[in-house]
């Protein structure tokens, strides 16, 4: 196992982190705790010392399962990260309540890395107004947490605003070779690094989509001088960036754990050759050629008066076609746009064809037609 440090923290952290959002489950969606425990402990025994969970993962099961998996001396071997559910915060007292509940769930007296979870413009404005930065200072002072951080899902300007607002230990961002311009992206990664804020990467394989043995992609990798699996190419591309300290993998099988630990032996920064990067570039171009709706995500069409998340609908539709992943993308579509975080459903099927969006679109896209395509594809 290879290790790296955060600029603002002294410990050596494994470049592979165990993300506990995709633990093995039974058909009834209950976590298969014996298998999950075996996987987590195997990873720790083989050098992984960063374990990441969150309040809502596995419908609230993840934190208790992780807490029990870390019993018997394993808690002392890892740096544990979990997250404040930002969308559930209505008053400052809620922050203390959730943190105390999480400490109990995880069976620990402190959390090493405590992230404000999934920040976007709305949740940042709300939690900042309610005093989240003061709460973090207080929780550090009383020993319940050691290092404050945040995870992020929004645009670069909001990311920069959050980075500059506090002395964060790190930011957790989605980053992979298909998402260099998505959300914080490369610009945000470099902005944070220049200011001494560490980087933890989530979704290095886009939820496993970049690990698929896909036609067209398979042939590009097969012709490469280096022999790597698609998953190894994706992980090594992220590890190639010296600004990244930890790459999280949401592993669901013991085979994935073993493979990723093996890949992590090669994850040195700057280790990919010019030829390697050219191979990744060809794969990126092949995936990009499969885009069905040429939406740039500029959001000039927003807000929709009826609540449709137009760019989000197009993103999941494109993702389904790019990666040949209708079922997986449809599940994320339902989860992300279904209003589970207190909002209203934002599906394409909500469209009433008022036409306001098309008048605003700088690309002149036939948005109403595309929304009908999305609604027909994913259903209501």
In order, the DSSP letters of 172-236 are EEE--TT-TTSTTHHHHHHHHHHTT-EEEEE-TTTTTGGGS--TTHHHHHHTSSS---HHHHHHH
At residue 237, the pLDDT reads: 97
Contact 14, 264 (CB under 8 A): yes
Is the preceding peptide bond at 303 cis, omega within 30 degrees of 0?
Answer: yes
First-to-last C-alpha distance (Å) of the chain: 46
Contact 51, 21 (CB under 8 A): no
Rounded-to-integer distance, Cα 353 and Cα 62, Å: 41
At residue 207, the pLDDT reads: 82
Sign (positive/negative) of CA torsion 13, 15, 21, 26? Answer: negative
Mean pLDDT, the chain cut into blocks of 10 residues (380 residues total): 96 97 92 97 98 95 98 97 95 97 98 96 95 98 98 94 98 94 94 98 90 88 93 97 97 96 95 96 92 84 92 91 88 79 77 92 90 91
CA 45 to chain centre: 25
Domain(s) labelled CATH 3.20.20.100 in the chain stretch across: 3-282
Rounded-to-integer distance, Cα 326 and Cα 332, Å: 10
Burial of 279 (0-12, 13-18, 19+ CB in 10 A): buried
Whole-structure pTM value: 0.86
- Range 3-282: architecture per CATH: Alpha-Beta Barrel (3.20)
Rounded-to-integer distance, Cα 75 and Cα 67, Å: 8
Q: Which residues contact 260 (CB under 8 A, 6 or more apart)?
A: 16, 231, 235, 249, 251
Rounded-to-integer distance, Cα 148 and Cα 243, Å: 18
At residue 363, the pLDDT reads: 81
Element (H, E) at 50: strand 50-52
At residue 341, the pLDDT reads: 47
Residue with tokens 């709300």, as numbered in its chain: 126
Burial of 95 (0-12, 13-18, 19+ CB in 10 A): buried
CA angle 15, 239, 244 (to 5 degrees): 70
Lookup: tokens for 240: 């190639």
* Burial readout 351-366 (b: 16 or more C-beta within 10 A, e: otherwise): beeeeebbeebeeebe
Contact 39, 54 (CB under 8 A): no
At residue 345, the pLDDT reads: 84
CA distances to 2, 305, 310, 323, 324 from 243, rounded to whole Å, are 15, 40, 33, 28, 31
């Amino acid at each position: 196992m290879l290790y790296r440090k955060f600029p603002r923290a002294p410990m050596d952290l494994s470049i592979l982190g165990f993300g506990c959002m995709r633990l093995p489950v039974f058909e009834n969606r209950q976590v298969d705790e014996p298998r999950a425990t075996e996987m987590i402990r195997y990873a720790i025994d083989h050098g992984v010392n960063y374990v990441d969970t969150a309040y809502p993962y596995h419908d609230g099961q993840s934190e208790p399962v992780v807490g029990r998996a870390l019993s018997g001396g394993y808690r002392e071997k890892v740096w544990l990260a979990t997250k404040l559910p930002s969308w559930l915060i209505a008053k400052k007292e809620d922050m203390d309540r959730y943190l105390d509940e999480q400490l109990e769930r995880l069976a620990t007296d402190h959390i090493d890395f405590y992230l404000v979870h999934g920040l976007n413009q709305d949740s940042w404005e709300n939690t900042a107004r309610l005093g989240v930065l003061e709460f973090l200072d207080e929780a550090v002072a009383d020993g319940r947490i050691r290092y404050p951080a945040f995870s992020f899902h929004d645009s670069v300007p909001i990311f920069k605003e959050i980075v500059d607002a506090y002395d964060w230990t790190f930011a957790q961002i989605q980053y992979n070779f298909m998402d260099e311009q998505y959300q914080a992206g490369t610009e945000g990664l470099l902005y944070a690094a220049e200011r001494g804020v560490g980087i933890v990467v989530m979704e290095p394989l886009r939820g496993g989509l970049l690990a698929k043995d896909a036609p067209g992609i398979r042939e590009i990798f097969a012709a490469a001088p280096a022999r790597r699996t698609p998953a190894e190419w994706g992980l090594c591309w992220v590890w190639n960036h010296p600004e990244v300290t930890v790459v999280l993998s949401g592993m669901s099988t013991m085979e994935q754990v073993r493979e990723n630990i093996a890949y992590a032996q090669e994850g040195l920064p700057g280790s990919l050759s010019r030829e390697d990067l050219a191979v990744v570039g060809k794969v990126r171009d092949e995936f990009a050629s499969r885009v069905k709706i040429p939406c740039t995500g500029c959001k000039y069409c927003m807000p929709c008066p009826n609540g449709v998340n137009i760019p989000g609908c197009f993103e999941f539709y494109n993702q389904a076609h790019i990666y040949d992943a209708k079922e997986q993308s449809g599940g994320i579509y339902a989860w992300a746009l279904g209003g589970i975080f207190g909002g209203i459903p934002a599906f394409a099927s909500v469209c009433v064809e008022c036409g306001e969006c098309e008048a605003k679109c700088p690309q002149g896209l036939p948005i109403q037609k595309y929304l009908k395509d999305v609604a027909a594809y994913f259903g209501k």
